[in-house]
Amino acid sequence: MATFVVSHGAWAAGWAWKKMHPLMAAKGHRLYTPSHTGLGERSHLTGPNVDLELHITDIMNVIEYEDLRDVILIGHSYGGMVATGVADRMQDRVGTLVYVDAYAPRDGESIFDLVPERRKSMGEAARRDGDGWKMPPTPLAADTAPQDAPWANARRIAQPIKTFEQQLRLIHGEPPQPRHYIYCTRITAGDRFRPFLERARAEGWGAYELDAGHTPHVTAPEALMEILDRIARG
């Protein structure tokens, strides 16, 4: 049995991974899907000072207080920023790092450093529709099933823009854990994650391509589960 912890993507929360819970249990694994401060059931805690560091602390505290060890830490999309910071600071607890169509930053990088073309557009969206400090959700992945769209759209909320602006600080350098990258091939809004797949291949990480849009835990959960189970079983 493996223990998985998810750092979810922007605008979402733990709820977005609900399809994965029965699949994980069927494979004999445990799955924790905590929500970052200011999102999901913790939306009442949002504010302009919520940043990347706070989200890193969120996940670290779950691992610490649940006394989890040899964790397979998943970072999805924005959650790759968070997961990288957690893996750096909890090397005794995190055994494996898995990026699911996620940002895989180096020390000193923010999301806006990794995709600078989004800095202006997201800043303008925050000023126009987010009181100057929060970024409204982007559209759902194109392969989202019609029956899932109302459920997801009702729960996706604006996220503080500081989480995109703040640069990641790695205390110990590049995380030493085995790393894997799952790249989703159904691209709809710019191929911004392919450079991380190429980095994974160049640096000898596990590298996988998945026929799904950006949220495979919603649109292709069984296929995602097969890859995660392979990773867990080595």
Catalytically active residues, by annotation: 77
In whole angstroms, give the CA distance from residue 12 to residue 131.
19
Query: Which residues, at least 6 apart from 76, have a Cβ–Cβ distance to it below 8 Å?
Result: 6, 7, 8, 9, 100, 101, 102, 215, 217
**Closest-CA residue to 226 (of 214, 210, 204):** 210
Tokens of 180: 């894997």
Cβ–Cβ < 8 Å for 164, 110: yes
Cβ–Cβ < 8 Å for 95, 70: yes
